[in-house]
């Protein structure tokens, strides 16, 4: 299916502003870029995305493998959106964008006037995809969402590993990757819906929710039987 001719890509003409950091949001933005979207990545002045320094390994010109794994096919610029000038530039970019992917801290978004509600009030056709550890509402809304903790809290670690051994994490940051996939699906659905409705949408995705949903038959078995699932090692039921 890849690569697409530039004028025939499914998301040709769709601009995405990727203001997210680390993995879940950037991975979502990369998927949209793979589909032909024009993805512009915003990074912090001076340091850029956290993952630029996560290594080794690094390429000969100093790019980390981690950063490259979730940021291909994007354009990039640094911008301090907390400054008045940067905030103005940010909104000018949004005015020309179809999608915003962000994982702002809840308190930071409120302080800067960048909550989904305020963004949609100013940019009514924008699709705002907010990614966080535990969602934008609820008692854990301000807690950081680290993949390791999410795998533990969701129960994913408890079903992973040898049957007689301790719980184990999955070998990659799977909660982030799954959330990026859910985010891309939700954004595509909203782009389709906007063609009929004419208005934008706010998407609120939590890593914990996505990690729980990913356990499909194991989670349903618990809901059906009430029995806590056990580790199965390499067997598959």
The residues assigned a catalytic role are: 176
- CA distances to 68, 124, 157 from 175, in Å: 19, 30, 11
Q: How far is CA 25 from the centre of its chain?
A: 3
Cα 34 to the center of its chain, rounded Å? 15
Contact between 73 and 105 (Cβ < 8 Å): no
Token code pair at residue 73: 């096919």
Contact 143, 217 (CB under 8 A): no
């Amino acid at each position: 299916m890849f690569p697409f001719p530039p004028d025939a890509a499914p998301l040709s003409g769709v601009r995405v502003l990727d203001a997210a950091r680390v993995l879940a949001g950037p991975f979502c933005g990369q998927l949209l870029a793979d589909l032909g979207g024009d993805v512009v990545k915003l990074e912090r002045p001076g340091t850029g995305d956290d993952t630029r320094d996560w290594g080794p390994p690094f390429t000969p010109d100093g790019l980390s493998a981690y950063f490259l794994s979730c940021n291909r096919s994007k354009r990039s610029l640094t911008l301090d959106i907390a400054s008045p000038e940067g905030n103005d530039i940010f909104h000018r970019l949004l005015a020309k964008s179809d999608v915003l992917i962000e994982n702002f801290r809840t308190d930071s978004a409120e302080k800067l006037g960048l909550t989904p509600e305020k963004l949609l009030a100013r940019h009514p056709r924008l699709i705002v995809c907010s990614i966080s550890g535990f969602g934008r509402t609820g008692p854990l809304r301000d807690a950081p969402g680290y993949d390791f903790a999410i795998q533990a809290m969701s129960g994913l670690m408890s079903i992973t590993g040898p049957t007689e051994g301790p719980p184990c994490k999955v070998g990659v940051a799977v909660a982030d990757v799954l959330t990026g996939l859910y985010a891309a699906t939700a954004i595509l659905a909203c782009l389709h819906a906007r063609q009929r409705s004419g208005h934008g949408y706010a998407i609120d995705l939590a890593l914990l929710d996505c990690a729980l949903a990913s356990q499909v038959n194991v989670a349903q078995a618990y809901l059906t039987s009430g029995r806590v699932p056990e580790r199965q090692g390499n067997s598959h039921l």
